[in-house]
Chain A
Amino acid sequence: MELERLEIPDTPDTLIRVQQLEKENRILKKKLERSEKTCLELEQTNQRKEALLRKIIQELEDSQKEVEEKRQLEITLGELKQTQSQLINAEKMSSLGQLVAGVAHEINNPVNFIHGNISHIQNYSQSLLELIHLYQQYYPNPALTIQEKAEEIDLEFLQSDLLKVLGSMKLGTDRIRQIVLSLRNFSRMDESDFKPVDIHEGLDSTLLILQHRLKSKSSEIQVVRHYGNLPKIECYPGQLNQVFMNILSNALDAIEEQNNTLPAQGKNHNLGAITISTSVISLDNTDWAEIAIADNGLGIPEAIREKIFNPFFTTKPIGKGTGMGMAISYQIITKKHNGNLICTSTPGIGTQFVVRIPVHQSACRL
């Protein structure tokens, strides 16, 4: 098609159209000028927005990291507290152990000396008594002075009682020797490796040490033993005894406290009792020794039950409890013996602690 040069007629209509076109042209030009500036401004606005958001995101991440670090710190703090309790445990154990071992040793010698000589005295006395018999047989009428002396000293009674007294002295020294043995047994904390031992022996020694609390003037606490058929258990005997000691003294405390809160007339009716049951159970192809120690003391309120294993948690008056007993026991059972220590309790009825440790520690060391 051929382009023709258009003659624009000079009518008012076309004039308006040309004016409009001119105006549109001006507007377009202006818009073009502006668009670059607008573009630049929007870009800057955007850049700022981007920077701001990046910073905010970073701050969020930082605060998240802070939270994580705080959590780490809390974990570390928890571990520190445990280490501290272990240290205290070790300290407590070793000084107690040393004391007990020292006392036991010091008493052991003279007691053995007395004990050994009692047999001699028994023999000598026996001989002397036999000699007196012979005298009485061959000289039925002794001199008056001898008769008077025999009456004065009640020879008849003396003869029958002397051996009885010696017999009970022997019983007494036997008992002292037994206690000393228990003390030494109890303080076997120096042992650095697992040893297969009779747990019942440990329980009995511990009970013996606590004897004075079981039989006090005001009340008597009954101990019921349901000992099962236990093999020798691989453990640190000294430490395990420490656990029994802690659990049993808490049980005694709880029973005493329960009695104190009861009205006077009820005192006779509420007989304190501690029941110790032992057995072997099989779990996950492993044999476990289970020692359950139950009391009918005041029980532990639900709210504090999970706190009793915390170091320094105690409900006892200042000077009585340190709050370390259960924390240490928990460490000994779970960490040292790969076992577990579970507490169940009904307030007002009583509490039961169940200690569970593997019969063979080798089974746990994979």
Chain B
Amino acid sequence: MLKAVVGHSNDPDSLPAITEVLEQCEQALAGTEPQAGVLFAAIDFDHALILQEIHQKYPEIQLIGGTTDGEISSVLGFEQDSLTLILFSADKITFRTGIGVGISQDLPKAIATALEQATLGHQESIELCLTVPDSLTTSGVLVLESLNKALEQTFGKKVAVFGGMTADQWEFQQNYQFCGTKVYSDAIPILLISGEILFAHGIASGWYPIGKKGVVTKADLNVVYEIDHKPALDFYHYYLDGLAPSQEYPLAVFDTEDVDYYIRASSGTYDVQTGSITFFGDVPEGAIVQITETTQDRILAASKASMEQALAKYPGKEPVAALYFSCASRKQILGSRTKEEYTLTQTCLTNSLPSCGFYTNGEISPLPQQTNSCYHNETFITLLLGES
């Protein structure tokens, strides 16, 4: 039987925080041994110490995690500067971690290494992949493309990937990834899950295009140089009255003259000299773009919709746990109403559900009706987990 427990502490000191988290988990586990865990930690903690403490308690644990821009759990709801850990124990489900480093240098190699490690020890076919890659050293789209390809090559089928890119509280300087007892950056930790796992997910954003459309006339992967043959920065400056582009005002990207669009947020990096803007995901040349905008109510309505979607699709009787990946921009706009995101998802549930999540610099999940995972911005992703 799959069991999930959650610990969450808002103590800013690393040792008391992890001690509190582990106490909560231990109590909820009631004697069962956890096989795997996912850790979300604010940037200011002593992460190495925390990982050590966890392993001291559970030496065999398969653990991944990373730094965040806010944490969510069924214990404290939404918190900032906190530490939250979800632990899984199951007898018919296998969890294995892997880590790939230097994703900005050799992404395929990093992913191959991580997969090799995480594949060991599985008896049954891989059902699910969780990951929390670095958000600042390479393009999220590239990471997902490579990972999807590698997964398909290794396992001969598409594997659903979920997760979020690690964050650093809107500083966009340095973020960290965890695997086992080690703290990394420029890395991709993955957790492969096989066996009798059941899952379903929901995804929704709440951002809508506004203003004039432009055509991307010069771009290289996730760096946009020109829109309508003018510096990309001009496009933003025009609407933001000279203010710099930021994640809360992402671009809607229309592939063709379609009504459907996906969203690309600026990473906060831009170049005044060339007028280029760096995005968290790739924006193809020729794409039609438009600035998007939202309101707090629209964001919150989307969070709820995400949970409703996931519940409606859940194949089993009742989910055992939930993971949330919410975009840091949502928090940026919601301000003190950020806590309502979690509270609203709970209004869809009849029973309490152990859950854990974080505010990320880029969400990862398939689109509602697909298995191929992609990289998203500005969304709220709900992943429900259970056992068949």
B249 partner, pick from A27, A30, A38, A52, beta carbons under 8 A: A52
Task: From the candidates B12, B239, B293, B333, name the one contacting A27 in the complex (CB within 8 A).
Answer: B12
A-B contact count (CB 8 A): 60
Q: Are B239 and A55 in contact (CB under 8 A)?
A: yes
Bound-state CA distance A133–B291 (Å) is 117
Task: Find out whether the CB atom of B335 lies under 8 angstroms from the CB atom of A44.
Answer: no
Contacting residue for A59 out of B11, B211, B243, CB 8 A: B211
Within 8 A of A (CB), among B1-21: 10-13, 16
Are B243 and A34 neighbours in the complex by a CB distance under 8 Å?
A: no
Check B241–A23 contact: CB distance below 8 A: no
Q: In the complex, what residues of A have CB within 8 A of residue B332's CB?
A: 41-42, 45
**How far does the alpha carbon of A146 sit from the alpha carbon of B124 in the complex, in Å?**
151
The interface residues of chain A, by DSSP majority, are classed as: helix
- Interface flags, B201-218, vs A, CB<8A=1, else 0: 000000000111000000
**Complex-state Cα separation, A59 to B80, whole angstroms:** 39
Q: Is the CB of B13 within 8 A of A41?
A: no
Q: A23 and B16 in contact (CB under 8 A), knowing A51-B240, A55-B238?
A: yes
Of B170, B211, B212, B243, the contact of A47 (CB 8 Å cutoff)? B243
Contact of B134 with A by CB under 8 A? no
Q: A45-B332, A52-B210, A52-B240 are in contact. Are A29 and B293 (CB under 8 A)?
A: no
With A27-B10, A27-B11 as contacts: A49 and B335 at CB distance below 8 Å: no
A32–B242 CA distance with the chains assembled, in angstroms? 30
The reply to whether the CB of A48 lies closer than 8 angstroms to some CB of chain B is yes
Contact of A56 among B16, B81, B210, B335 (CB under 8 A): B210
- Residues of A within 8 Å of B11, CB to CB, are 23, 26-27
User: Which residues on A sit within 8 Å (CB–CB) of B240?
Assistant: 48, 51-52, 55
Give every chain A residue within 8 A of B211 (Cβ-Cβ).
Answer: 52, 55-56, 59
* Most A C-beta atoms less than 10 A away, residue of B80, B241, B291: B241
B interface secondary structure, majority: loop
Verify if A54 is at the interface (C-beta below 8 Å from B). yes
Flag B232-252 by CB within 8 Å of A: 1 or 0 each.
000000111111001011000
Report which residue of A30, A48, A51 has the largest number of chain B beta carbons within 10 angstroms of its beta carbon.
Answer: A48
Size of the B side of the interface (Cβ < 8 Å), in residues, is 25
Q: A45 touches which one: B81, B238, B333 (CB < 8 A)?
A: B333
The distance from the CB of B43 to the nearest CB of chain A, in whole angstroms, is 11
B291 CB contacts on chain A under 8 angstroms: 52
The A-contacting residues of B in range 112-157, CB under 8 angstroms, are none
B239 A26 Cβ-Cβ under 8 A: no
- In the bound assembly, the distance between CA atoms of A338 and B384 in angstroms comes to 81
With A27-B12, A29-B12 already in contact, the answer to whether A45 and B239 are too (CB < 8 A) is no
Known interface pairs A42-B335, A44-B246; A52-B81 also in contact (CB < 8 Å): no
Please measure, in the bound complex, the distance between the C-alpha atom of A39 and the C-alpha atom of B12, giving whole angstroms: 20
B residues 330-349 near A (Cβ < 8 Å) are 332-333, 335
Contact B243 A30 (CB under 8 A): no
Render A1-42 as a binary contact track against B, CB cut-off 8 A, 1 for contact. Answer: 000000000000000000100010011011100100010011
Query: In the complex, A357 Cα to B249 Cα: how many Å?
Result: 66
Please report the C-alpha to C-alpha distance between residue A56 and residue B211 in the assembled complex, in whole angstroms: 6
Least CB separation from B246: chain A residue: A48
Q: Which residue of B is nearest A24, CB measured? A: B11
Q: Name A30's contact: one of B81, B242, B246 (CB within 8 Å).
A: B81
With a cutoff of 8 Å between Cβ atoms, the chain B residues found around residue A45 in the complex are 246, 248, 332-333, 335
CA distance A239 to B359 in the complex (A): 84
A50 contact set on B, CB distance < 8 A:
241
Cα-based distance from A102 to B293 in the complex (angstroms): 77
Of A29, A41, A42, A52, most B-chain CB atoms within 10 Å: A52
With CB as the reference atom, state the residue of chain B lying closest to A22.
B16
Beyond A23-B13, A26-B11, A59-B211, list 16 extra A-B contacts (CB 8 Å).
Answer: A19-B16, A23-B11, A26-B16, A27-B10, A27-B11, A30-B12, A38-B335, A42-B332, A44-B246, A45-B332, A45-B333, A45-B335, A52-B211, A55-B238, A55-B241, A59-B212
Pairs across A and B, CB under 8 Å, 30 listed:
A23-B11, A23-B16, A26-B12, A26-B13, A27-B10, A30-B12, A30-B81, A31-B81, A34-B80, A38-B335, A42-B332, A44-B246, A45-B246, A45-B248, A45-B332, A45-B333, A45-B335, A48-B240, A48-B248, A50-B241, A51-B239, A51-B241, A51-B242, A52-B240, A52-B249, A52-B293, A54-B241, A55-B239, A56-B239, A59-B211
B positions within 8 Å CB-CB of A: 10-13, 16, 80-81, 170, 210-212, 238-243, 246, 248-249, 291, 293, 332-333, 335
**Considering the complex of A and B, which 5 residue pairs feature the smallest CB-CB distances, nearest first?**
A51-B241, A30-B12, A51-B240, A55-B239, A30-B81
